[in-house]
Structure 1
């Protein structure tokens, strides 16, 4: 049975018995009961986070290449200094945070 998560919740047990059999059968025959809501791309694009107006902002990131004394942890994928290298078993380089 489909559940309408937007409907108010029933808190009292006697409210569960309020619906008649006819109402339930009518709802079962509802052609919309099997329809799945799909997010419209327009709605998702127009969604704004409160206090975050980045429409006029240009974001840029400077990428620094990995140095000779650094490694990339094979578990967390963070670039770490060689002094944080704990385990190299099986050819995998693992940092202290992931090993501990």
Structure 2
């Protein structure tokens, strides 16, 4: 909790009174236990993590490797040829992040 050092200081007695008053207002607050029905209806449209998506179909178009690209043999990311840091005799190319 943040502390405002410029605020006037309260005594222990004042602090106890404040906390008791807060508790009384919370207890007397009649809306604190109610649930907004509109929020509950809106929550039904959200998908939770781990939901069953087996009925969904994903279509991906795979492009062939371009002339100015290479696939790093270390991280397997497709990178621009300007990122080649090391080319091994077996043909493997490594990016600056993976060369070592």
Give the TM-score of the pair, scaled to structure 1: 0.44
Richer in helix (by share): 1
Give the TM-score of the pair, scaled to structure 2: 0.44
